[in-house]
Chain A
C-alpha cells in the first residue's frame, strides 16, 4: 500500500514537471486590475471615445468636458454574489488552508467574482474618485485526478484625480493621476504536492504606484441633434510602481479609441472600438474591443465583444439612482487548452 502511494506520488511529481504553468500561462481577460465602471465593463472595456458612461469617471480624461453638470455619487458593484465576494476577501486577507481551498472547488471547477465600492465626483473640468475596495477573483481547477489550481485574486484601493481642457476648437486634452495600492495573489497550486508542503498555500504580494494617463480627444462637432465622431489617443501607466509583476501589466502603453454617436428618434445609439496593445512587439485581434450602447429614456442597453469575451447588460437610471445588471462569458486560455467563465454582475449607484 505504501509502495503504491509512493509510486503515485512520483508519477504525479513527474507529470507536474511536464505541466508547469499549466494554468497560469496568462490572466483571463475578465481579470482587470484597473477599475472600470459597470458600463465600461459591460461594453467589454470599450470606452476611450464613448460618451454614455454615466456611472464613473470617463476612461480618457480628455472626455471630461462633455459632462454638463457636476455630480457626486457612490457606486457598489458585485459579480456572482456576496458569497463569491466574501471568498475573494478570505483568500486575500486570511490564511487559507488546504481544506478550505479544496472546499472552494468542491462544487465547481471555476471561480469568478468581483466587487467594488467607489465614490465619484465628476464635472466638466475636474473629476475625483476614491475606491476603498475593488476586488477580483479568478480560479480554475484542472485535471481532477491530479488537481492543479490556478488562483488570481486582487484588491485595489485607488485614488484618482482627473483634469481636462479644450485647447483648440473640438480638441480636448486631459490626464488622470492614479495612486493605487494593490494586494494580490497569483498562484499555481499542485494539490498533490500539498501533502508534503505544510507552508503557506497562497502568498499575498503588495504593489503600489502612481501613474499618469494623458489623452487627447478630437470631436467632429458638438451638435446635439446630429451624429458625432470622436477619436482619442493616449498613453496609460506613465509613472512609478513599487514592484513589477508578470501578471499585472504596469508597463506604459499607447491606447486609441474611436467612437460614434447617432441620435435615433427617441434614443441615442453609440458605438466604439478601442485598441489596447498588451505587448509592445505586436498587435493581434485580442487587443481590440468593440462596444455599443443604446440609450432610451432611463434605460441603457450595453454590449461589448472581443476575441475572448462577450458581454451584454442593461442599466436603468432615474433621478439619482442607477441600477445595472450584466452578464458576460469569457475565454481563459491556459496552455494548450481553455476554460470558459461566466459572471452575472449587479450594480447599484446613488447620487447625492
Chain B
C-alpha cells in the first residue's frame, strides 16, 4: 500500500497534459478555416460547433443524471470499499457532468462568444469582420506556438525529475514506473518541440 501511495504522489508531478476528454470524437472540420480565416469560414465552423455542443451538452446532462442516480443506488447496495468509493465519486461526477453539459449547450467555447459578439454588431461590414477574424486567428496561432514551447520545456523538466526519482527509488516496480513516466515525458517533450 505504501508503494501505491508513493506512486500516486509521484505521479502528481506529471500533470499539465491538458488533453481533450474524448478520444474518439471527430472534431468539427476546420481545415478551410485554418487555410483561409475569413468570416464566412468562421461562421460555418461555429454554426456546426453550436449544433454539436447542444447535442453533446444534452447527452452529458442525461448521462450525468443517470450516473448520479446510479451512484446513489450503487453506494447503498455495495459492501466493497473500492466499489463504494467509485459510486460516491460517480454521484459527484454525475452532478458535475450535468453542469458541464449545461455549459456546453448554453455557453460553449470562447470562439462562440466572439462569433456572437461580431454577429450582434450590425455596424461592422464584411471586410472588417474578415479582418478581425484574420487577426484573431493569427494571434491564436502565435499563442499556440508559445504554449507548445512551454509544454515542451515542462515535459523536459518532468522527464528529468522522474528519471532522477527513478534512479533514487529502491522499490523495483516504482523505479520501472518512474522510468516509464520519464520516457513518456521525453516523447511529449519531443512532440511539442516540432
- How many angstroms between the C-alpha atoms of A296 and B23 in the bound complex? 14
Residue numbers in A under 8 Å from B9 (CB-CB): none
Residues of B173-194 contacting chain A, CB below 8 A: 173, 176-177, 180-181, 183-184, 187-188, 191
The contact of B86 among A52, A70, A266, A323, by CB within 8 Å, is A323
Residue on B nearest A80 in the bound complex, by CB: B80
Q: Is A325 an interface residue (CB 8 A)?
A: yes
Residue on B nearest A267 in the bound complex, by CB: B59
Given A297-B62, A351-B17, A352-B17, check contact A68 B100 (CB 8 Å). no
Which of B35-43, B64-72, B113-121 interfaces with chain A? B64-72
In the assembled complex, how far is the CB of residue B68 from the closest CB belonging to chain A, in whole angstroms? 10
In the assembled complex, how far is the CB of residue A346 from the closest CB belonging to chain B, in whole angstroms? 5
Given A70-B191, A71-B19, A126-B187, check contact A224 B101 (CB 8 Å). no
- How many angstroms between the C-alpha atoms of A121 and B182 in the bound complex? 12
Q: Is B11 an interface residue (CB 8 A)?
A: yes
B58 and A266 contacting across the interface, CB-CB below 8 Å: yes
- How many angstroms between the C-alpha atoms of A54 and B21 in the bound complex? 10
A130 and B87 contacting across the interface, CB-CB below 8 Å: no
The contact of B20 among A68, A117, A267, A346, by CB within 8 Å, is A68
Q: Is B25 an interface residue (CB 8 A)?
A: yes
Residues of A258-300 contacting chain B, CB below 8 A: 266-267, 296-299
The contact of B59 among A72, A117, A123, A297, by CB within 8 Å, is A297
Residue on A nearest B94 in the bound complex, by CB: A316
Residue on B nearest A122 in the bound complex, by CB: B23
Given A119-B180, A318-B100, check contact A70 B59 (CB 8 Å). no
The contact of B181 among A119, A222, A297, A325, by CB within 8 Å, is A119
In the assembled complex, how far is the CB of residue B85 from the closest CB belonging to chain A, in whole angstroms? 8
**Interface 1/0s, chain A 311-352, versus B by CB < 8 A?**
000101111110111000000000000000000101110011
Residue on B nearest A71 in the bound complex, by CB: B19
Range for the number of chain A residues in contact with chain B: 35 or more
Residue numbers in B under 8 Å from A119 (CB-CB): 177, 180-181, 184
- How many angstroms between the C-alpha atoms of A126 and B183 in the bound complex? 13
- How many angstroms between the C-alpha atoms of A122 and B74 in the bound complex? 31
Given A133-B173, A323-B93, A352-B11, check contact A68 B83 (CB 8 Å). no
Main secondary structure of the interface of A (DSSP, over half): strand
Q: Which of A54, A66, A119, A159 has the most CB of B within 10 A?
A: A119
Q: Is B61 an interface residue (CB 8 A)?
A: yes
**Interface 1/0s, chain A 36-65, versus B by CB < 8 A?**
000000000000000110100000000000
B11 and A346 contacting across the interface, CB-CB below 8 Å: no
Residue on A nearest B183 in the bound complex, by CB: A128
- How many angstroms between the C-alpha atoms of A12 and B82 in the bound complex? 42
A318 and B17 contacting across the interface, CB-CB below 8 Å: no
- How many angstroms between the C-alpha atoms of A320 and B176 in the bound complex? 24
B101 and A297 contacting across the interface, CB-CB below 8 Å: yes
A314 and B183 contacting across the interface, CB-CB below 8 Å: no
Given A67-B24, A119-B177, A130-B177, check contact A298 B67 (CB 8 Å). yes
Residue numbers in B under 8 Å from A69 (CB-CB): 19-20, 23
In the assembled complex, how far is the CB of residue A124 from the closest CB belonging to chain B, in whole angstroms? 10
Residue numbers in B under 8 Å from A230 (CB-CB): none
Given A78-B82, A266-B59, A325-B87, check contact A51 B67 (CB 8 Å). no
12 contacts between A and B (CB under 8 A): A52-B24, A67-B24, A68-B22, A72-B188, A82-B80, A128-B180, A128-B183, A297-B64, A298-B64, A316-B63, A347-B86, A348-B82
Those 7 A-B pairs whose CB atoms lie nearest each other, nearest first: A297-B59, A297-B63, A299-B63, A224-B26, A297-B60, A130-B180, A132-B173
